[in-house]
Amino acid sequence: MTGKTDMADNIWEYSMQPTAAQAKTGLRVLLLALSSLFFLFIVAFMGRSQFPDYESLTAAWQPLAKPWALWVNTGLLAFASASLQWARMASRKNQREQSTEGLILAGIFTLAFLVGQVFIWLQLISTGNLVSGNPAYGFFYLLTGLHGLHLVFGLVGWAITSLGIWRGLSFERTSVRIELCATYWHFLLAVWLILFALLTSPPETFEAFAALCGLR
């Protein structure tokens, strides 16, 4: 009787799992919503940059005039995305060990990226570059914080996927989760590259984009 009950529970649990197609569709909807969110904040940032009290983050006297730390963090996130792509390709070839290694590396590089971002925040705060001092820093904290928060959410999915592998979950279901993680990380890498280019752009770039968007 117990065996039949366990089997019924397993069948019920499996039936409640979304199919690969449903999961991918859900992720696409989520990424579309996030794209709209970041786009609106970027437009607001460009509009705010046209006010007289705005000072560019790339000005010679600003701490981010030479953003070497941001370059390092960008490299870390790129490695995380590449590691997940490696895990994705390995999972498609049923290479469980290589897929697991790629997944682990992605988690390490992502955590390193987040630590690096926090390090930059602490450096800016220690030098008195707060939200009240310059609107540009307000948007810097907002955009990098929002991006980092979504990476943290991604790490939750990464942890669930890793736990599934550790528990011996079927490789078919694990592969779908790795696919979703890889797509999500590639998206956040693309968003970060846009934010990085925006945050380190000279005032002339903001003026050109603001004029193009009708904000001037």
16-20, 38-42, 87-91, 204-208: lowest mean pLDDT where?
16-20
pLDDT (mean) for 51-63: 76
Amino acid identity of 143?
A: L
Q: Quick one: how far is CA 99 from the chain centroid?
A: 20
Output the six-digit token pair for 177: 């989760």
* Nearest Cα residue to 195 out of 74, 72, 54, 29: 74
Region 52-66: mean pLDDT is: 77
Average pLDDT, the chain: 85
Residue partners of 62: CB distance under 8 A and separation at least 6: 55, 56, 129
| AA identity, residue 7 | M
Neighbours of 4 (CB within 10 A): 8
Residue-level pLDDT at 63:
78
Q: How far apart are CA 216 and CA 211, in angstroms?
A: 5
Q: What is the pLDDT of residue 55?
A: 79
Distance, CA of 103 to CA of 159 (rounded, Å): 10
Residue 67 near residue 200, CB atoms below 8 Å: yes
Of the pLDDT bands very low, low, confident and very high (cuts 50, 70, 90), residue 9 is very low
pLDDT, one tens digit per residue, over 151-190 is 999 999 999 998 888 777 777 778 889 999 999 999 999 9
Q: Three-state DSSP class for 202?
A: coil
The arithmetic mean of pLDDT across residues 83-112, rounded, is 93
- Tokens linked to 52: 């007289």
Above 60 in pLDDT, residue 36? Answer: yes
Segments making up each domain of the chain, as ranges:
26-212
To the nearest 10 degrees (0 to 180), the angle between helices 68-92 and 171-199 is: 160
Select from 188, 197, 193 the least CA-distant residue to 81: 188
DSSP 63: G
Residue 200 burial (CB count, 10 A): 17
Q: Are 113 and 76 in contact (CB under 8 A)?
A: yes
Residue at token pair 């509009």: 47
- Residue 8 in this model has a pLDDT that exceeds 60: no
Could you say which architecture CATH assigns to the domain 26-212?
Answer: Up-down Bundle (1.20)
